[in-house]
A and B are shown apart, each in its own frame.
Chain A
């Protein structure tokens, strides 16, 4: 059996683990006359890292955007823990537990790392005008709670020393980590990552993989678009191979890599 050890080990937990945290059915994404995703289905489970791989132009980023809500789907459905979220905007999906990183690191450049984390920690509820104006004391309490959590997250990833740095003062790897920590502030169920190792120095990639594994072990479902196949083989429990907008293989990395069709897609 694939997948990490489920902490509780009880049968009920196993059954729960088999209900996908996020699933997509026959998703079609097209813009400007080009069909980027042509009927793709996927199941992402809690505590599992699923890799989305394939040659250039396969539609991986478009599919990730469809999952996250940045791209509208022409057909098909996307379900989050049983709820149909296909028509929901990105911010609404984020409030329901789907978070993501972007190909180019997207930390809020005018704020320090700490402020990045706190912004995500407050989310929409804490940042609403109503809550700020009408409930000042509750707002202050929430501020302290979020700040405390931000320090916890920083400590967990050993990044307390960059808490007060701006993005422009950090390396690519650090900025990627800021993005990921920011996602975690939301206590998400699903974390979508778009080429997380881009712009990250090779020696830092190992730590990044270890960090992502630890996030996966917390019970979060990871869906990772990645080109670097060594990262994929190390990190992902399962992979889904895309080519020309369709899925051509899924399973463990070692098996999939031996599939003839997959080899043809990459080389041909």
Chain B
């Protein structure tokens, strides 16, 4: 009985790590720019496919993390400084931006579907022998993924709290117009944010397929709602919040799956989001009379 719980929690932590990397990237991006990027999942798929192509060409699956990250960073930077800025210049409002990203998601997802002939590809990662930690059995790969999530978290926290760029970022997220007049080079901060969050996005896609061992056009799409839920729950712009929220969702999902059956697992995860929105709506209310702006 306790074994099932322990196992469920362990798998919950693993799932949480996969979600958390993406959620931390999403929250960083959204917290600063206020672009609710529904194409985030599609970019994760792009990262995953980049890693797959690298693998096909003989590159080790783990280096694929970097390949996917770079692909994600490049695409996100292009979109952020190019496409999104174009819309912002033409006076797009916040809700119009979210609609734009959804259209973009359609284009990328089905573009990938077209090119990949709607196939699902195998992504092989050599599995070492499973490890037994008491009642729980996990593979070293999974342990590494948890480690990656923690490293990402530590790196982001260090960036935000200790570096000049991080402080500038936090200032801009809190008071964008004030930050500019303080001499902060806002354009540079935005570019760095796109690059870092894009890298995490692409890498998260690779992390996901390392765990699931397969890549298809819908890879990121399946995953995106959980990522968004974790990012919103944790509060925009807060990597710690995203991590904690991802942990909560991951563990609840796996525990429900273990006891109630796998069919209810995703529902449970979303149920948390619904409950939060019902009882702590301040997370999603508009600012206190101040118009939230796009920072691009």
Q: Could you list which residues of chain A lie within 8 angstroms of chain B, going by C-beta atoms?
A: 31-32, 61, 65, 70-71
Contacts and interface: CB of A to CB of B under 8 A. Distances in A.
Sort chain B's interface into a size bin: under 10
Closest 3 CB pairs of A and B: A31-B288, A65-B289, A70-B289
Contacts of B289: 61, 65, 70-71
A4 B289 CA distance: 34
A61 B288 CA distance: 11
Contacts of A71: 288-289
Contacts of A31: 288
Interface of B: 288-289
Contacts of A65: 289
Nearest to B288: A31
A70 B285 CA distance: 13
A31 B290 CA distance: 13
Contacts of A61: 289
Nearest to B174: A32
A65 B289 CA distance: 9
7 contacts: A31-B288, A32-B288, A61-B289, A65-B289, A70-B289, A71-B288, A71-B289
B236 to A, nearest CB: 14
A61 B289 CA distance: 10
A31 B288 CA distance: 8
A140 B288 CA distance: 39
A31 B282 CA distance: 11
A51 B288 CA distance: 23
Contacts of B288: 31-32, 71
Nearest to A70: B289
A71 B288 CA distance: 8
A32 B288 CA distance: 10
A71 B289 CA distance: 9
A216 B87 CA distance: 45
A31 B285 CA distance: 13
A70 B288 CA distance: 9
B171 to A, nearest CB: 15
A31 B289 CA distance: 11
Nearest to A31: B288
Nearest to A29: B288
Contacts of A32: 288
A71 B287 CA distance: 11
A199 to B, nearest CB: 15
A45 to B, nearest CB: 27
A31 B287 CA distance: 10
B285 to A, nearest CB: 11
Nearest to A103: B289
A112 to B, nearest CB: 21
A65 B288 CA distance: 10
Contacts of A70: 289
